[in-house]
Amino acid sequence: MSKIAPSQDAPRPLFDTGLAIRKEVLGAEYVERAIAGADDFSRPLQEMVTEYCWGNIWGRPGLDRRTRSLLNIAMLSALNRPHELKLHLKGALTNGATREEIRETILQIGVYCGVPVAIETNRLAQEVFRTLDAEEG
Question: What local confidence, expressed as pLDDT, does residue 5 receive?
Answer: 56
Q: What is the model's pLDDT at position 8? A: 58
Chain mean position to CA 137: 24
Taking the chain, what is the end-to-end CA distance rounded to the nearest angstrom?
A: 31
> How would DSSP label each residue in 8-56?
TTS-HHHHHHHHHHHHHHH-HHHHHHHHHT--TTTHHHHHHIIIIIIII
Q: Which domains does the chain have, with CATH numbers?
A: 12-57 (no CATH), 65-136 (1.20.1290.10)
pLDDT at 137: 85
pLDDT at residue number 1: 44
Reading the chain (137 residues) residue by residue, the pLDDT tens digits are 455 555 556 457 899 999 999 999 999 999 999 999 999 999 999 999 999 999 999 999 999 999 999 999 999 999 999 999 999 999 999 999 999 999 999 999 999 999 999 999 999 999 999 999 999 98
Cβ proximity of 53 and 15 under 8 Å = no
What's the one-letter identity of residue 43?
Answer: R
Collect all residues with Cβ–Cβ distance below 8 Å to 125 and sequence separation of at least 6: 89, 99, 102, 103, 106
Closest CA to 3 of 29, 30, 37: 37
Amino acid, res. 47? E
User: What is the Cα–Cα distance from 32 to 114, expressed in whole angstroms?
Assistant: 35
Q: How far apart are CA 3 and CA 33, in angstroms?
A: 10
- Dmax (CA) for the chain in angstroms is 46
Q: Find all residues with CB under 8 Å of 60, minimum gap 6, and list them.
A: none
